[in-house]
Amino acid sequence: MLVQQILKSKGDSGVITVTPGTRVAEAARILAERRIGGVVVSSDGTRAEGILSERDIVRALAVRGASCLEEEVREMMTRNPVCCTRQDTSDAVLARMTDGRFRHMPVVEEGRLVGIVTIGDVVKARLDELSMEKTALEGMIMGH
Give residues in contact with ligand AMP (CB under 6 A).
Answer: 37-38, 51, 53, 55-56, 78, 81-82, 100, 102-105
CA 7 to the chain's CA centroid:
11
Nearer to ligand AMP, 101 or 144 (CB): 101
Nearer to ligand AMP, 90 or 139 (CB): 90
Closest separation in Å from C-beta 63 to ligand AMP: 13
Nearer to ligand AMP, 22 or 53 (CB): 53
Cα(126)–Cα(1) distance, rounded to whole angstroms? Answer: 8
Residue 83 · residue 109 · CB < 8 Å:
no
Closest separation in Å from C-beta 120 to ligand AMP: 11
Q: Which position's Cβ is nearest ligand AMP?
A: 53
Checking DSSP bridges between strand 104-109 and strand 78-79, what pairing results, if any?
Answer: unpaired
The identity of residue 69, as a single letter, is L
Using only the alpha carbons of the chain, give its radius of gyration. Answer: 18
